[in-house]
Amino acid sequence: MRESKPNFVFPFPFMLFITHWFLLAFHGSAAESSTYIVHMDKSLFPSVFTTHHDWFESIIDSTKSGTLGHSSIQPQKLVYSYSQAMYGFSTVLTSEELEAVKNSHGFVAAYPDRGGTIDTTHTFQFLSLDSSSGLWHASNFGEDVIVGVIDTGVWPESKSFRDDGMTKKIPSKWKGTCQEGQDFNTSMCNFKLIGARYFNQGVIAANSKVRISMNSARDTYGHGTHTSSTVGGNYVSGASYFGYAKGVARGIAPRARLAMYKVIWEEGLYASDVLAGMDRAIADGVDVISISMGFDGVPLYEDPIAISSFAAMEKGVVVSSSAGNGGPDLGTLHNGIPWLLTVAAGTIDRTFGSLVLGNGQTIIGWTLFPANAIVENLPLIYNKNTSACNSVKALSKVAMEGIILCDLVSDPKIVIKQRRFVKKASLSGAVFISDQPLVNEGYARYPSIVISAKDAQTVIMYAKSHRKPTASIKFQETFVGIKSAPAVADYSSRGPSPSYPWVLKPDIMAPGSNVLAAYTPHTPAAEIGDNVLLPSDYNLLSGTSMACPHASGVAALLKGAHPEWSAAAIRSALVTTASPLDNTQNPIRDYGYPSQYASPLAMGAGQIDPNKALDPGLIYDATPQDYVNLLCALNYTQKQILTITRSGSYNCAKPSFDLNYPSFIALYSNKTRSVVHKFKRTVTNVGHGPAIYRAKVTEPKGSVVTVSPETLSFRYKNEKRSYDVLIKYRKYKKENISYGDLVWIEDGGTHTVRSPIVVAPRGIV
């Protein structure tokens, strides 16, 4: 058995390159002037101008000259121009100049720029949990739901685990404890962190001479502290990563109770310890288990997570797990277990830092240099020689007091090498050009920024057209509202699951890239140069380990809002309401294959949508016996099945691969040119009363999909109705993966219940 490592990339930021709508407050030099946001009418764009940017600049120039030409205020360039999220610009104006702008052709509205606080981790906002109604309010922010986190331990002193605002009565079902150990005593638990245990006997048994460096539930790695605070951390003002993503940190379920079960050690990760931790969590009375790890290359009956999560499912405990970081290859997913939730990782709509040219133009880029370095108004050095950044020798001929602009390269490995060369050459700063997400692996050790190839054209034109071009790199800036997002992270493992490919995995996607959450303060979170290590109480980390606790937190909220729902019902609600569209209302893209839209093998049903999951309309439920029927169909022996079920009370009278699952996957043999798959599904009406649903199918390429009946009529709440799906596929080219969906649409448009469909060759597993 090969144990996997926790599913995160340390840290693995991903760049998003398209300009945003979010504004930073800008302060003019004169007391009587202010920054204004000006909306313009796009339909009145004058044809005399080439771009909207030119039009906006002409408006500003006209207010600074003419009748106001003898103003003592220096002319200001645009602060920002906007053409996506809004149409207009921002600039510094006096009250007189503002009136002149109001009289300009195409003016719509203007108002003062407002300083604001970005809410961190920001992902709760990205998922629309901050709406005036919805899942947060329906669940009272997850109050009294208990989430057990199976991980590397916890740093109890973190502000994220304070119990301010928590009710002072722990639910009576809680049977756990706060286990004492090295540098950890019972007083470190409270009404937020209600339990902490550790399990390392498996590690010790494997090596009797091993010395456990931190023999307690205390986290020395940072992973467990990060994931648990993402699930249910309390409100913390002023959290940031060295000034980036600064704001109010909070977990997805900020009023949930947390319990840590430390099973991952610097000395090793063993299945026995994982089983012990899961076992104890179930016994302690948790409602949700969040586990950001997995075991590769093992059958279900040897997988400690599969085994222990079956027991959790029987007791109504929702288990949320990470898909793994083996992407973008297909068939790399672990935790493809039919009775738990498997979560893929996606990007979010946030980026950091900007490049400001000497002419005032601002380029939004990507940098996480962990200091507010002064890289201002320095010469911008651009050589047509593309090898300038490819060796220390070539860079040594460049002036040190300047910002080098490196040419575009398509291979991310070359850009990473360029970074090393520039760092060794000790230039004042550097601008790298790349559209490859992998370029941003790791934090920036050197004052630099990455910009997109599209934006680079503006920079290059400026450098070529000015005799003495200059630039500044701005650090510790945060921009949100970036389009398009989310995208599937390239590292996120893809299905089908090698352990059980007949259920479509992953189930859903959640934010996993650049998630800010609590961290261990004695573990390096950044580095400057080669020898300056920097700690941080909060860290930006990426991986499916970060996506999993987002889904765990949403599951906790659903558990609070619908305590009567089974684990399968909660998973169904999450799957059928997930969105396959990004924030531009286009299909979600796959960063592993940038030219392609993401398939369900990469993102499941799509991005998790908490508020819609609160009221899904229909759910696909399942009983423990339904899952046993799957195991029976696999021809597992009675003993192998018993390792999972722990009880002989189940039977193999009706073996079947066809689980009542909220998605469909049809695998065909490489040797045959056609396939017919029949699926039977039963849905339960969890709406508010009578309802009629009609089927709408988007057929996978090369397939004919028939749904019978095409209409489902419900007379009352909790009534069940069944239907069949017949997929006929004929291989029209070489082996091919195709996908579509089945959507049940309620008459009146209140609910839509969507299930992805995948048709794929069995050989991809």
Q: Which two tokens stand for residue 383?
A: 């050589």
Q: Is 545 annotated as catalytic?
A: yes
CA 511 to chain centroid, in Å, comes to 1
CA angle 499, 500, 504 (to 5 degrees): 130
Non-local (6+) Cβ contacts of 472 within 8 A are 355, 356, 375, 376, 377, 378
Q: Is 537 annotated as catalytic?
A: no
Catalytic residue among 20, 223, 334, 562: 223
CA 523 to chain centroid, in Å, comes to 23
Q: What are phi and psi of 757, to 5 degrees?
A: -125, 130
Q: Which two tokens stand for residue 405?
A: 């602009």
Q: Enumerate the β-bridge partners of residue 692.
A: 713
What is the residue-wise DSSP string for 390-452? S-HHHHTTS-SSSEEEPPP-S-HHHHHHHHHHHHHHT-SEEEEE---GGGG-S--SSSEEEE-
Euclidean distance between CA atoms 425 and 604, whole angstroms:
45
Give the sign of the dihedral formed by CA 136, CA 138, CA 142, CA 147. negative
Q: Is 751 annotated as catalytic?
A: no
Non-local (6+) Cβ contacts of 616 within 8 A are 572, 573, 576, 577, 686, 751, 753
How do beta strands 429-433 and 350-357 pair? unpaired
How do beta strands 341-346 and 80-82 pair? unpaired
Residue with tokens 């200059």: 470
Q: Which two tokens stand for residue 455?
A: 């934006």
Euclidean distance between CA atoms 287 and 282, whole angstroms:
8
Catalytic residue among 113, 119, 144, 151: 151
State which H helix or E strand residue 119 sits in. strand 118-119
Decide: helix, strand or coil at residue 679.
strand
Residue ranges in 634-719 assigned as alpha helix (H): 638-645
CA 542 to chain centroid, in Å, comes to 8
Q: Enumerate the β-bridge partners of residue 255.
A: none
How do beta strands 146-151 and 107-112 pair? unpaired
CA distances from 55 to 95, 253, 591 (A): 21, 46, 35
| AA identity, residue 117 | T
Catalytic residue among 499, 545, 552, 703: 545
The angle, 0 to 180 degrees and rounded to 10, between the axes of the packed helices 567-577 and 304-314 is 110
- Whether the CB-CB separation of 140 and 560 falls below 8 Å is answered with yes
Euclidean distance between CA atoms 697 and 271, whole angstroms:
42
Strand order across the beta sheet in which 664-668 lies:
664-668, 752-761, 738-746, 691-698, 711-714
Catalytic residues: 151, 223, 545
